[in-house]
Amino acid sequence: EMKVYLEKKQANLTTRNFPDSVETIRKKWKIKDGGKNYCFFTTDSNNHKIVLICTKII
């Protein structure tokens, strides 16, 4: 499911409490830097890895 949203796209990435670095995620999913999309890779309180995919509206 992540493939549909991320693979070969352009987005600004940020990680917090996530095992992979931004560089590793970019290489794995072939994501270019920049654009109006923002992806926040983090870990929730139940220790599940999650990604918040957001779009800048202004």
Q: What is the tens place of the pLDDT at every residue in 28-47?
A: 999 999 999 999 999 999 99
Q: Which domain holds residue 49?
A: 2-55
Mean pLDDT of the 7-25 span: 94
% of residues, the chain, pLDDT over 70: 100
Domain tally for the chain? 1
Mean pLDDT of the 1-12 span: 83
Predicted model pTM:
0.85
Q: Report CA-CA distances (Å) from 38 to 6, 32, 41, 46.
A: 11, 12, 10, 23
